[in-house]
Chains A and B, each alone.
Chain A
Amino acid sequence: MADFTSSLYNMRLMDDLACKDTFVHKLHPLIKILTTIAYLFVVVSYDRHEIIGLLPMVFYPVVVFFLAELPVKQVLARLLLIEPFIIAIGILNPFFDSQVITVGGLALSRGWITFASILLKSLFTITAALILICTTGMDKLAAGLRMLKVPRLFVLQLLLTYRYISVLIEEVSRSIRAYKLRAPQQKGIHPGVWGTLVGQLLLRTIDRAERVYQAMSVRGFTGEYYTGADTRITIRDGAYFGGWLLFFILARMVNIPLMIGLLISGVIS
């Protein structure tokens, strides 16, 4: 897990991005959730040694990225932070499947091919999740989840957790900074104060929850969360979802790059 400042920065960046006003941002949240799920399913359903056939899947993140005017550099930087974990597991593939095949005169072990396939898939799936949150935002996403019949209690709880993460990260980081200033040159929190330090924070958290509940009750909280979002699904939303779905299915059934390649090499020879 990243440190306090970078996590806070990251969450605020995504909040900011979600406030933009582009074609993709204006789409219905439910549509964006469904498109993301369809995309993830299709990407993950590819065989483990598929690389070329997987490539058309790059169209979805590229098109949405530019339509939604997301900053490529900043979001890709997030990806680079996550990739090492995937690499750690995938890098063993070449060792376990070292049967050699030749690709265009180049001898490769099959493990490298499955490894590359895993890398591509992780790149696509993580980008898809980031795109969803960067173009939708937590409130609208929650409204979308409610429309998917996710229980009210869970959605409400999710929103509260999200709302208080930034508050508590600040609170926890203040305590840790205070500790560090008084105990320099330590790698972490000394075992002697594990209980008191985290325990104090926990007690303060519980008191805060009490105050939050009282404040909510005073303002007429009855257990429902109102977003004020427009809940109608327009033809434009339907076309967006239908278009992508059609493309995903087509790309899954037909190896598009291979067909383009055959066409080109056929023309040349």
Chain B
Amino acid sequence: MHMADALISPVIGGTMWVATAGVAAYSIKKIQDDMEEKKVPLMGVMGAFVFAAQMINFSIPGTGSSGHLGGGLILAAMLGPYAGFLAMASILLIQALFFGDGGLLAYGCNVFNLGFYTCFITYPLIFKWFIKKGISAKRMMAGSMIAAVVGLQLGAFSVVLETVFSGKTELPFSTFVLMMQPIHLAIGIVEGLVTAAVLTFVWKARPELIEKPVSGKISGNTSIKRIIYGLAIAAVVIGGGLSWFASSNPDGLEWSMEKTAGTTELAESGGIYGILADIQSKTAFLPDYSFKNDGSVSEQVSETSAEVAWPSVNAGTTVSGLVGGAMTLVLAAMIGFFIRSVKRRKKKVTA
């Protein structure tokens, strides 16, 4: 689910960065207000634990395959939503830097998709609701399961939205949704089962670790409402500001925002286009010219704007482009080898 830089546009990447930074700043303030400096080492070590635990293979009964843990819900349950969100953000930054797992521009998207929904939506609203009246193994199971599944569905859906709004791939919205949601349903079920097993064990061995954050001072609702309102306002302001800026900028930005507008319309008018979208989703895997016209607004928009944006393909410029491109690569390689040979000579002199 980690998004790469190559598939997002600067506008989407930037907007999600701002949203994530906002949530992170709020979380930091919350932790500092509670004066829980003791939590900092716990956050760090727990983050490292989840990072390592993500590599464990869990065999899934009856399927012969195995699954992995995401760990967002465990972090939220053990550390509370604010510290859990920050721990997730650290894990994702290290993955992006050291493993190229998720891009740096897409970092905002990734933290939001994998951290925000579990820590601020499904943990307080679903998981806590289930164990509010007292903890039992069954309630823990139900809470973890539903919270994990819903969290991953929301995350997967926003991956789809962010990718489609960015307009770097040709995948139609409906096809992408139909690809992502079922896969993440399966992933969510495994996540829920593992999370429930681990949390139940911890609760039996050291009940205070689970009961404290759940019943503790972090009385979710009011502050979470504030976060969501804040985000909504920020999204409108930033989206509006950036799109105004983008439309005065005649390049790729404008194009992607056009596409954004087109797909928002599609998402909202689901009822009208529902049947058509359904038909389309069934035919969409066929590489047919006609399917683009039957209902997908986004495709039409991208078609027309792509028509405008495509450079005139005439043989002369194409040849020049290819020759020049080859020359650029040769030049880059030559510079590389030049630097290396100079460095080697220097080393020989000093040695």
Contact = CB atoms under 8 A, between A and B. Distances in A.
A147 interface: no
Interface residues of B, number: 114
Interface stretch (A50-58, A231-239, A241-249): A50-58
Nearest to A180: B57
Contacts of B89: 154
Contacts, number: 367
Contacts of B339: 63, 66-67
B44 A125 contact: no
B168 A172 contact: no
B216 interface: no
A249 B189 CA distance: 47
Contacts of B323: 260-261, 264-265
A52 B255 contact: no
B100 A56 contact: no
A124 to B, nearest CB: 8
Contacts of B56: 172, 176, 188-189, 198
Nearest to A257: B324
B327 A260 contact: yes
Interface in B148-199: 163, 167-172, 175, 193-194, 196-198
B244 interface: no
A158 B90 contact: yes
Contacts of A48: 167-168, 252
A223 interface: yes
Given A118-B7, A261-B322, A168 B335 contact: no
A141 B200 CA distance: 38
B24 A164 contact: no
Given A47-B309, A172-B53, A260 B58 contact: no
Interface of A: 1-4, 7, 10-11, 14, 36-37, 40-41, 43-49, 51-52, 55-56, 58-59, 62-63, 65-67, 69, 78-79, 81-82, 85-86, 89-90, 92-99, 101-105, 110-111, 114, 118-119, 121-122, 125-126, 128-130, 132-133, 141, 151, 153-154, 156-165, 167-169, 171-173, 176, 186-191, 194-196, 198-203, 205-206, 208-210, 212-213, 216, 223, 255-262, 264-265
* Closest 6 A/B residue pairs (Cβ): A160-B44, A261-B324, A199-B201, A195-B197, A261-B320, A257-B324
Interface of B: 2, 4-10, 13, 24-25, 28, 31-32, 37-38, 40-49, 51-61, 64-69, 74, 78, 86-87, 89-91, 93-94, 96-101, 103-105, 163, 167-172, 175, 193-194, 196-198, 200-202, 205-206, 209, 251-253, 255, 284-285, 287, 289, 306, 309-310, 313, 315-325, 327-329, 332-333, 335-337, 339-340, 343
Given A36-B104, A163-B48, A201-B53, 9 more contacts: A11-B98, A89-B169, A161-B90, A173-B52, A202-B78, A208-B45, A213-B38, A223-B37, A261-B320
